[in-house]
Every structure is written in C-alpha cells, then in structure tokens.
Amino acid sequence: MSERNSISQKCASTANALGHGIADWLRERHLDFEAGIRYRTPAGRLYAYLWWLGLILIQVCLALIIIDGLQRYIRAMHELSRGEKYLAEKDFATAEACFDAGLRLYPYSVAPYQYEGQLLITRYFAGDSPNIFAESSSGYHFAAMPDREQALRDGIAFLDVAIQLEGQRTLPLIIRKQGDKISDAYYWRGRGHLQLGQYEQGLSDFSNTIRMQPEHAQAYLYRGLCNFALRKLDAANIDFEQAIRLAPGLHAVLAEEMPFQKSSPDLERAVTGLTRQIISLQRDRSKQRELILLYAARGDAYVLKREFDAAFADYSRCLETGGNATEINNRIALLHKLAGR
C-alpha cells in the first residue's frame, strides 16, 4: 500500500470517528430530554423547561422584530404619502420634513431617496421649475439656499441611492420599488449633472429617461443640450426636433437654456487655429475635403460662442464647397432654432 493511500484512509477514518462522535453526543442530549419528560427526573424537567423557554423567547423576539419592522414600514409609507401631498401643494418645507421622517423610519425604500433628491435639485432650480412633477413657470420663488451647489450634489447623491436600490433584486417584498417612476430619478439626476458640467453623465441619464418614457419632451431637450455641449451638433438638432414636436412651447426657451461658452479661452484658441488653417488651404484645390471639415469645425465653434451669423457663413461655405448636405442642413436648422428665425 502506498503512503498516499495510507494517509487518505487515516483521514477518512478520522472524519468518520468525528462524525460518529457528534452524532452520539446529539443522541445523548435527545435521550436526556426524552428521559426528563418521560421519567420526570429533576434534572430532566429543568433541562426541558430551559429548552422550551429558550424556544419561546426566540419566537417572541422574532415576532417583536417583525411587528416593529412592519409598523415602521407603515409609518414610513404614511409619511411618504403626506410628503407627496404637500409636494403637489408646493409646500416644500413640510414635504422635505415628511421625506426625512420616512427615511429615518425605514431607510430601505426607493421612494424617499428619490423624492428627497428631486426636492433638493428642484430647490436649486427654484425659479425655473418648482414642481418636480411638471415643468411649469408658476412664478413661485423658493428662499435662497446657503449653499446651492452643495444642495445640488446632495440631491444627486440621494438619487444615486434610489437608482441603486431600484436595481437591486434582493428583498423584493421589503424594498418598495418605483417602477416607471424611477425615470424621474434619472431625469433629475441628469439635470444635476448638466448643471455641474458633467455632460457625459447627463447624456446617459436622459437617455435612460427616454428609454423608459419615449414621450418625455424635456428629456429630449436636455439630452440635446448635453449633445450640444459635447459638440455633437447633429445629434443635438435631432433631439431638439423631437422635443419641439412633443412640446412646441419648448421652442421659446431653447436658446436661453443652451450652455453657450462665449468667454471660453479654449474656443477662442480653436477659432484662431482653424482660421489659420483655412487661410493656408484656401488656394489649394487638392485640399477641398480638408477645407470643408475646417469650415464645419469653425462653424461649430461659432455656434458654441453664440455667433450665429459667422456660423451660418461657414456652413454656407461648406455647402458651396461640396460638403455633406444632410449634416450641414441639420446644423443650419439648429441655427434657425437658436436664433429664433
């Protein structure tokens, strides 16, 4: 017999003996318990009483924990309902207090985090859209906050938690999901990212909103703003077309919402550099393709600077030189929207 087989047999026999030892101990304890009940010996009775007392205490503790959890959940949902009612009435201070109470009572629900985040971001945009459920200019002005940007970041943090909880698949009967309402969390988090200049994150959030609510006009508008800030002007124009088709009234506020960069040093350097390259290629007939790209790039820069006449002139030169008519016409259509023509 080899040494390896001998070691294996010793291990198996040791494990077998250990298993029998544990089984024998459990059997003895069970026999002691049965003997105490059957023969009513003092030690057996004490053992039995302690056994059942321990089981009863465990069951009572579990019942109390479950009852307390249910009560906290019910009270939290009541506070949430009150907060939604006060929010609809534009009583933001009371609504925020209700949401805070709901979070303290039951921090495992999606809705309080979502509404708390939306409320903070709404307070940041106090003069623009005080109601988180509908974009409207009601003239309501909330009191100035001591640190508006921090409130914006806090709102984004609350919405991050809400979206993470909504995505979890654990405890589906305990965590209150939001379903289609989570699209509002994406929308308002996108508004926060856009305001902070985080255009890629905003673009992703607005795309998620549109995926859940294809008729969300404001999501198209603000996704177009993100595309515009990222210099994706054709994509921006398509989004603006869809937004205006769904809500024609958005046409009037389009130019006001645009993240123009009129004083950006980078744009000034870009325009200067593109102008030099255009001058150097204007007389070279073999460089027409490169010249078209330069005109289009300089036109885009002029759009970001809100110099619409200069941008229109560059786009017109692109068409005259043989540029892609579809792309250039999309840019010209965007100019008309921004200039109100």
Q: Within this chain, do residues 219 and 133 fall inside the same structural domain, yes or no?
A: yes
Q: Within this chain, do residues 134 and 245 fall inside the same structural domain, yes or no?
A: yes
228, 257, 286 - which closes a domain = 257
Residue 4 located in a structural domain: no
Helices (H) and strands (E) in the chain, counts: 14, 0
Q: Within this chain, do residues 57 and 197 fall inside the same structural domain, yes or no?
A: no
Report pLDDT digits (tens) over 178-212: 666 788 899 999 999 988 889 899 999 999 999 99
Whether 36 shows a pLDDT value over 60: the answer reads no
For the residues of 64-121, what is the DSSP string, one character each?
A: HHHHHHHHHHHHHHHHHHHHHHHHHTT-HHHHHHHHHHHHHH-TT-HHHHHHHHHHHH
Whether 323 shows a pLDDT value over 60: the answer reads yes
Longest CA pairwise span in the chain (Å): 115
Q: Within this chain, do residues 248 and 275 fall inside the same structural domain, yes or no?
A: no
Q: Within this chain, do residues 198 and 290 fall inside the same structural domain, yes or no?
A: no
Number of domains in the chain: 3
Give the integer Cα–Cα distance in Å for 221 and 251: 10
Q: Within this chain, do residues 277 and 238 fall inside the same structural domain, yes or no?
A: no
* pLDDT band with cut points at 50, 70 and 90 for residue 33: low
Residue 15 located in a structural domain: no
Helix (H, G, I), strand (E, B) or coil at 183: helix
* Centroid of chain to Cα 254: 24
Report pLDDT digits (tens) over 140-187: 333 344 467 788 888 899 899 888 888 776 554 455 566 667 888 999
Q: Within this chain, do residues 276 and 245 fall inside the same structural domain, yes or no?
A: no
* pLDDT band with cut points at 50, 70 and 90 for residue 8: low
Q: Which domain holds residue 48?
A: 26-87
224, 257, 290 - which closes a domain = 257
Q: Which two tokens stand for residue 304?
A: 């970001």
- Average the pLDDT over 114-136 and give the result: 63
Report pLDDT digits (tens) over 209-266: 999 999 999 899 899 888 888 888 888 888 988 988 888 877 777 766 776 665 567 7
250 touches 217 (CB < 8 A): yes
213 touches 178 (CB < 8 A): no
Residue 282 located in a structural domain: yes
Q: Within this chain, do residues 279 and 330 fall inside the same structural domain, yes or no?
A: yes
Q: Within this chain, do residues 314 and 295 fall inside the same structural domain, yes or no?
A: yes
Count of beta carbons in the 10 Å neighbourhood of residue 329: 14
Q: Within this chain, do residues 288 and 324 fall inside the same structural domain, yes or no?
A: yes
Report pLDDT digits (tens) over 55-98: 788 888 888 888 887 888 788 888 888 887 887 777 777 888 88
Residue 237 located in a structural domain: yes
Q: Which two tokens stand for residue 284?
A: 């070279």
Q: Within this chain, do residues 181 and 284 fall inside the same structural domain, yes or no?
A: no
Residue 170 located in a structural domain: yes
CATH number at residue 245: 1.25.40.10
- Average the pLDDT over 117-129 and give the result: 72
- The larger pLDDT score, comparing residue 156 to residue 301, is at 156
Q: Within this chain, do residues 253 and 118 fall inside the same structural domain, yes or no?
A: yes
Q: Which two tokens stand for residue 162?
A: 């809400």
Among candidate residues 284, 296, 302, 298, the one with its CA nearest the CA of residue 322: 296
Q: Which residues of 268-277 are buried (b: 16+ CB within 10 A; e: fewer)?
A: eebbeebeeb
Element (H, E) at 165: helix 148-167
234, 257, 280 - which closes a domain = 257
Residue 13 located in a structural domain: no
What's the pLDDT at 206? 95
Residue 227 located in a structural domain: yes
Whether 29 shows a pLDDT value over 70: the answer reads no
What's the pLDDT at 11? 52
What's the pLDDT at 27? 56
For 340, residues 6+ apart whose C-beta sits below 8 A from its C-beta are 255
Give the integer Cα–Cα distance in Å for 211 and 213: 6
Residue 253 located in a structural domain: yes
CATH number at residue 313: 1.25.40
Whether 128 shows a pLDDT value over 50: the answer reads no
